[in-house]
Structure 1
Amino acid sequence: MGCGASAAPEAPPEPPAHDRSKDKKADGRLEEYQARMKFLDQVPLMKRLPKDEHPIVAEACEACEFQPGDTIIQQGNSGDAFYVVRSGEASVHVNTNAGREQVASLKGGDYFGENALLRDEPRTATIIATTRLLAFRIRRDKFQELGLNLKLQFANRKAVGGGMKMPSKSKPPTPKSPDDIELITTALQSNENLATMTTLDSARLQSFIEVMWKEEVQAGERIIVEGDLQADYFYVVASGEFQILVDADASAEDSLNQTDKVVNRVAPGGSFGELALLYFVPRAATVVAATEATVWVIDRGNFKNILMKVSDSKIKEYVRYLDQVSILDALLAEEKRQVANALVEMHFAIDDLIIQQGEPGNMFYIMYEGEVDIIKDSAVVATLDARSKSGTVHFFGEKALLENDVRTATVIVKSVDAKCLVLDRESFNLLLGPLKDIIEAAREGRERPERVVPGAAAGCLAKDRPRIKRSDLKRVGLLGCGGFGAVELWEHLKSGQTFALKAISKGYIVKTGMQESIMNEKYILAMTNSYFITKLFETFNGTQTLYFLLEPCLGGELYATYIRKGLYGSERHCRFYTSGVVFAFEHMHQRRIIYRDLKPENLLLTEEGHLKLTDMGLAKFVIGKTYTTCGTPDYFAPELIASTGHTNAVDWWTLGILTFELMSGRPPFESAYPMQIYAKVTKGISKVQFPPAMKGNCKNLIEQLLKNDPVERLPMKPGGVQNIKQHKWFSDFDWEAAENLGLTAPYKPTVKSKRDLQNFVARKEDAPRHLEYIDPGNGWDKDFATSY
Structure 2
Amino acid sequence: MGNCAYCRKGWTKAQSWLPDSKSAETMDIKLICNTEAEESKTGDSSFNLHNRRTKIRNLQKISTHHDITEAANAIISEKAKDREEKDKIRTVLNSIFIFNTLSVENIEETITKLKYYELEPSQMVYAQGSSGTHFFIVAEGKLEILVNGEFKGFLNKSDAFGEAALIQETPRSHSVFTTTKTMLWGISRTDFRSIVEFMSAKKYMENKSFVDSVPLFQILTPAQKDGLLAVISIQVFEPGLKIVTQGEEGDLFYIIKDGTVSCVVDGKVIRHMSRGDYFGEQALLYNSKRTATIISLSRVSVLNIKRDDLTNVLGNQLELIIYKNSQRIAIENSHYLKVLTKSQIELMINHTCYRGYKNREVVIPRGTQKGEKLLIIVKGSLITSKTGKKVPCLSCIGDQELLLPPAGIYEENYIANGPVDIEEITREYFERCIGGQLNKISSQNEVLNIMKKTQLFRALPNNKLEQMVNALYIQNYGDKEVIFYENSCGDAFYIVKEGQVDIVKDNATLRTITNNDYFGERSILGNEKRTANAIANGPVQVWVLSKEDFLLIIDEGIRGQLIKRMYLQDNTISLADLVPVKLLGKGTFGNVFLTVHKKSQIPYALKTVSRAKIRAYEIYNNLILERNILLQIDHPFIMKLVKTFKDRDRIYYLTEFVRGNDLFDVINDLRIMNDKNARFYAGCLLIILEHLHERNIIYRDLKPENIMIDEDGYPKLIDFGTAKIVDGRTYSIIGTPHYMSPEVIKGGGYGLSADLWCLGVIIYEVICGRMPFGDEEDEPFTIYEKILKNKLSFPPFIEHKAKSKFIIEKLLNKNPALRGEIDWLKTHIWFEGLNWDKLLGKQEIAPYIPKLNSLSFEITRAFKINSQLYKMIAKEEIIDSHDIPKFGKRSPSGWDDAF
Scaled by the length of structure 2, the TM-score of the pair is: 0.52
Other-structure match for 1:188: 93
Structure 1 residues 574, 321: closer, same or farther in 2, change over 3 A?
closer
User: Match of 1:221?
Assistant: 123
Q: 2:46 aligns with which of 110, 120, 127?
A: 120
Which of 595, 599, 603 pairs up with 2:703? 599
Superposed CA deviations along residues 170-190 of structure 1, whole A, max 9, x for unmatched, are 987321245533442333233
Partner of 1:134: none
2:315 aligns with 349
Counterpart in 2 of 1:707? Answer: 813
- Alpha-carbon shift at residue 650 of structure 1 (Å): 0.6
| Paired position in structure 1 for 2:355 | 378
Shift of 1:683: 3.3
Equivalences for 1:11-50 in 2 at 5 Å?
A: none
Q: Deviations over 1:589-644 (max 9, x none)?
A: 11111111100010012211211111111111112111222111111111112222
In the TM superposition, what is the alpha-carbon distance from 1:571 to its structure 2 partner? 2.7
Deviations 1:467-512 (A, max 9, x none): 3333443333344444444433222333322122334566666666
Q: Gaps (5+ residues) in structure 2?
A: 1-31, 231-309, 334-351, 360-377, 382-391, 398-419, 424-565, 860-875
Name the residue aligned to 2:832: 731
1:636 aligns with 2:737: no
Paired residues in the alignment total 540
Aligned residue for 2:761, secondary structure, equals helix
1:580 alignment partner, one of 677, 684, 688 = 684
1:677 to 762, 778, 783: 783
SS at match of 1:726: coil
**Counterpart residue type for residue 233 of structure 1:** H
CA distance in 2: counterparts of 1:619 and 1:214, whole angstroms: 37
For 2:167, the equivalent position in structure 1 comes to: 278
Letter in 2 for 1:706: L
Judged with a 3 Å threshold, the aligned counterparts in structure 2 of structure 1 residues 245 and 545 are, in CA distance, closer, same or farther, namely farther
3-state DSSP of counterpart to 1:753: coil
The one-letter amino acid paired with 2:108 is Q
Distance 1:318 1:376, change over 3 A: farther
Alpha-carbon separation, structure 1, partners of 2:716 and 2:858: 17
- Can you list the C-alpha shifts for 1:726-762, whole angstroms capped at 9, x where unaligned? 222222322110011112221111224356999xxxx
Q: Counterparts of 2:130 and 2:736 in 1: how far apart (Å)?
A: 19
Q: Which amino acid aligns with 1:699?
A: K
Is 1:616 equivalent to 2:720 in the alignment?
Answer: yes
Tell whether 2:686 aligns with 1:686: no
**C-alpha deviations, 1:539-560, integer Å up to 9, x for none?**
3446675443221111121113
CA contact (8 A) 1:544 1:773 kept: no
| Aligned residue identity for 1:712 | L
Amino acid at match of 1:560: D
Tell me the distance in 2 between the aligned counterparts of 1:302 and 1:615.
30
- In 1, Cα distance between the equivalents of 2:33 and 2:656? 29
Partner of 1:743: 844
Give the distance between the partners of 2:631 and 2:666, measured in 1 at CA.
28
Structure 1 residues 781, 605: CA separation in 2 closer, same or farther (over 3 Å shift)? farther
User: Displacement, 1:569?
Assistant: 2.3
Please tell me whether the aligned partners of residues 807 and 828 of structure 2 are also in contact (alpha carbons under 8 angstroms).
yes
Query: Which ranges in structure 1 are unaligned for 5 or more consecutive residues?
Result: 1-47, 58-113, 124-139, 141-148, 248-259, 329-336, 365-374, 383-395, 413-460, 716-720, 759-763
- Give the aligned partner of residue 312 of structure 1: 202
Amino acid at match of 2:607: K
The amino acid of 1:749's aligned partner reads P
**d(CA) in 2 for partners of 1:154, 1:300:** 25
Distance in structure 2 (CA, Å) of the matches to 1:757 and 1:407: 65
| Distance in 2, Cα, partners of 1:775 & 1:303 | 25
Q: Is the 2:591–2:607 contact (alpha carbons within 8 Å) kept by the matching residues of 1?
A: yes
User: Are 2:145 and 1:244 aligned?
Assistant: yes
Contact 1:497 1:754 in 2 (8 A): no
- Aligned residue among 643, 652, 669 for 2:756: 652
Q: Distance in 2 between matches of 1:215 and 1:117?
A: 52
Q: Classify 1:728/1:376 alpha carbon distance in 2 versus 1 (closer, same or farther; 3 Å).
A: closer
Aligned to 2:340: none
Residue number in structure 2 paired with 1:771 = 884
Paired residue type of 2:824: N
Contact 1:483/1:768 (8 A) holds in 2: no
> Partner residue of 1:68?
none
Establish whether residue 558 from structure 1 lines up as the match of residue 686 from structure 2: no
Partner of 2:604: 499
Match of 2:582 among 465, 468, 477: 477
How far apart are 1:515 and its partner, in Å? 3.5
Contact 1:499 1:549 in 2 (8 A): yes
Contact kept in structure 2, 1:221 and 1:288, CA below 8 Å? yes
Residue 677 of structure 1 deviates from its aligned partner by 1.9
Once residues 87 and 55 of structure 2 are traced to their aligned partners in structure 1, the CA distance between those partners, rounded to angstroms, is 47
The secondary structure found in structure 2 opposite 1:312 is: helix
Equivalences for residues 326-365 of structure 1 within 5 A? 347-351=313-317, 352-356=320-324, 358-361=327-330
- When structure 1 is superposed on structure 2, of 577-586 and 727-736 the one drifting more is 727-736
Give the conservation status (yes or no) of the 8 Å contact 1:341–1:625: no
Q: Which amino acid in structure 2 is aligned with residue 569 of structure 1?
A: M
CA contact (8 A) 2:331 2:396 kept: no
Per mean C-alpha deviation after superposition, the further-off stretch among 310-319 and 658-667 is 310-319
> Which stretch of the first structure deviates more once superposed, 698-707 or 316-325?
316-325
Contact 1:243 1:289 in 2 (8 A): yes
- The alpha-carbon distance between structure 1 residues 325 and 529, as it changes in their structure 2 partners (threshold 3 A), is same
One-letter identity of the residue aligned with 2:737: P
Q: Cα distance 1:606–1:558, how it changes in 2: closer, same or farther (>3 A)? A: same
Q: How does 1:10-159 map to 2 (within 5 A)?
A: 117-121=43-47, 156=57
SS at match of 1:604: strand
Change (3 A) 1:313 1:778: same
d(CA) in 1 for partners of 2:758, 2:379: 32
Matched with 1:209 is 111
**Distance change (3 Å), C-alpha of 1:288 and 1:546:** farther
CA distance in 2, matches of 1:753, 1:116: 25
Which residue number corresponds to residue 854 of structure 2?
Answer: 753
Q: 1:680 to 1:695 in 2, by over 3 A?
A: farther
1:668 to partner: Cα distance: 0.7
Contact 2:663-2:705 within 8 A present in 1 as well = yes
Q: Does 1:301 align with 2:190?
A: yes
Per the normalisation by structure 1, the TM-score is 0.59
Read off the aligned partner of 2:889 and give its amino acid letter: P
Q: 1:20 matched to which residue of 2?
A: none
Read off the aligned partner of 2:315 and give its amino acid letter.
Answer: A
Deviation at 1:562, TM superposition (A): 2.4
Which letter maps to 1:312? Answer: K
Deviation at 1:582, TM superposition (A): 0.8
State the shift of 1:267 in Å: 2.1
Instruction: State how far apart, in whole Å, the 2-side matches of 1:285 and 1:503 are.
Output: 36
Identity of aligned residues (%): 26
Instruction: Please give the alpha-carbon distance, in whole angstroms, between the structure 1 residues aligned to 2:86 and 2:380.
Output: 50
CA gap of 1:570–1:518, structure 2 versus 1, over 3 A, is: farther
Compared CA separation, residues 184 and 363, structure 1 to 2 (3 A): farther
Question: Superposition RMSD on alpha carbons, in Å?
Answer: 4.9
Judge conservation of contact 2:616–2:888 (CA < 8 Å) in 1: no
Q: CA deviation at 1:225?
A: 3.4
